[in-house]
Chain A
């Protein structure tokens, strides 16, 4: 593909779709590190203008990474619903953006449209959308999923309780979980990041999280976020798992560096369907995040927004219960500052929703990024208005195991209150039964973790 355009008297040429896609991105350090970003603001705008005029069939016909070379490309190509694609193939990316944003088109229209869109087409649209476009479009799309309970309803902001401990101490995790529950956090999942990734430890943690759920009849699901293979071994040994987890990359080589393959994910799917403890049908939990392919040198010169979209193409194949981007975890060489993290969070959420995914975001940052907790306050509110399915909470926003900052339990309760959103219905009812809320408002018990202690 060769395209040229004249912008304000200056002519810009692009030699491939890959180049157009990369240069059309809003500024981010990862594209600079990869050496593929626009060299000026005008070149960035020229790329956006060229991209806006491309048709969807051009995007399909010039694969960034050939399906013969990469099985994620192949999987995304095979997903396309021919009947939908035939109707839209001559649309430009500009027209696709306008269709998505039009008042005439509601959630069901967009989810039908989604079946005819490849991940690259969705990424292309995101590149010519403003932050408010991304919020508006995503807020229209309602994706409900069911594992043990159902989340994703309009007006629901669910949450993952992440009661990690630096040495996987069960009592410590319980203490942190009690704090979470007392703030109404944990309706999407009680999910532990283990320090030690052995079968025995995963087995123990799955049992312990399930025990906590059973002890208090909490309407939620459990998950231990280790490598998928160690979860599989634990589940085969009889460990109770509602969800099975894995991090995804947008290329075959990227997934290879994560130590996973499509047959492995298929095998895990079959196992959790057979031995999972939840009613289902949605039993996967996936995490993604811009930059992981570049960090494993598996990016093929493709920009990190497009690669992130391809993670969602892979994810939707497995009909997950929840997906979240860990947007600010990877570090400043991929997303340098709060402006870049905020943009990426909104892009990822929109692109996930546009794939029909139950999209959540880990609103987070590390200490070597140019960002602080105020930026997370901002992003959590923006994502709340965009209708994010769930966010992640840790005590006072400080994860004492992973050494990064996310949202606090307080923050999630605050976003719900300010935006008039509720926890998932069954969980909200449970909070009333525990006396933590009354008519949806905190009682004096809220925020007191000791209400869950067995003082014997």
Chain B
């Protein structure tokens, strides 16, 4: 604390990521702080309305299917449509995917395309390695555009995996617009409750590190398959 006397404001600011010690002109904030705040908001909004670059998906051989969502506005207003696959998507999955794997990996933009763009290259290969290390039979991975978390259930009905991992963009905050979550469920399908799903959230470079998250997902999936369950009763 030697320099706290020299710079008391800096010593206060070190304790919180909150935007304190910003000063004022009259009752208003200074220009640089106002513009920084608006810039962070702009990044968050852009990540909601962005799209995941095709290049990233093809890098990992992920083909795309759609939900019943028709537009971003529709996605935001009607979460129920983001839980249901488009009719065409169902037949594509049936044709293109391995049936009844141990684990199915699905990627979706959700509320932040940027989260997938920034984190997939780190998380996806590490996740596959981790699942491989448990000798699990991995299904055919794919991307769902406009998905909600509960789209896991319909995918589960079609492909019958023992366990499913959904990597999905989180609602962006101003601190991070590129945060991803991994939702996991044992035997996803109709009637599954929120409490049956498990989640690792806040996956990004300054949050839960992507590589660490991938290893952790692998461990959880292995335990789910061994204990034949997911949710609060899973012994970790």
Contacts and interface: CB of A to CB of B under 8 A. Distances in A.
Given A396-B22, A396-B33, A175 B78 contact: no
A181 to B, nearest CB: 11
Given A410-B28, A447-B24, A400 B5 contact: no
B174 interface: yes
A395 B175 CA distance: 13
Given A367-B41, A417-B26, A450-B8, 10 more contacts: A163-B18, A171-B15, A175-B20, A176-B16, A183-B24, A396-B18, A408-B29, A410-B29, A414-B27, A442-B24
A172 B15 contact: yes
A428 interface: no
Given A333-B76, A336-B76, A175 B13 contact: yes
A29 B13 CA distance: 40
Contacts of B48: 367-368
Contacts of B111: 368
A183 B27 CA distance: 8
B77 interface: yes
A179 B20 contact: yes
Contacts of A367: 41, 44-45, 48, 171-174, 177
Nearest to B48: A368
Interface in A147-201: 163-166, 169, 171-176, 178-179, 183
B37 A397 contact: yes
Contacts of A29: 77
Contacts, number: 127
A222 B108 CA distance: 42
A373 interface: yes
Interface of B: 4-5, 8-9, 11-13, 15-24, 26-29, 33, 37-38, 40-41, 44-45, 48, 73, 76-80, 111, 171-175, 177
Interface magnitude class on chain A: 35 or more
B136 to A, nearest CB: 34
Given A178-B12, A450-B8, A453-B8, A33 B33 contact: no
B109 to A, nearest CB: 12
A403 B12 contact: no
A163 B19 CA distance: 11
A105 B11 CA distance: 55
Contacts of A336: 73, 76-77
A413 interface: yes
B206 to A, nearest CB: 12
B17 A400 contact: yes
Contacts of B37: 373, 396-398
Give the dominant DSSP class at A's interface: mixed
A455 B5 contact: yes
Contacts of A178: 12, 20
A170 B15 CA distance: 9
Given A172-B16, A403-B173, A455 B4 contact: yes
Most buried by B among A164, A171, A175: A175
Interface in A102-146: none
B17 A166 contact: yes
Interface string A7-33: 000000000000000000000010011
A396 B39 CA distance: 13
Nearest to B21: A449
Contacts of B79: 33, 333
Interface string A370-411: 001100000000000000000000111110100111001010
15 contacts: A33-B79, A175-B12, A175-B18, A175-B20, A176-B18, A178-B12, A333-B77, A368-B76, A372-B38, A396-B37, A410-B28, A417-B27, A446-B24, A453-B12, A455-B4
B18 A172 contact: yes
Nearest to A32: B77
A395 B12 CA distance: 13
Nearest to B9: A450
A210 B125 CA distance: 50
Contacts of A408: 29
A332 B76 contact: yes
A369 to B, nearest CB: 8
A164 B15 CA distance: 12
A398 B29 contact: no
A269 interface: no
A175 B11 CA distance: 9
Contacts of B22: 395-396
A163 B29 CA distance: 18
A29 B81 CA distance: 14
B138 to A, nearest CB: 32
B18 A332 contact: no
Nearest to B28: A410
A392 to B, nearest CB: 14
Contact of B23 (A171, A394, A400, A447): A447
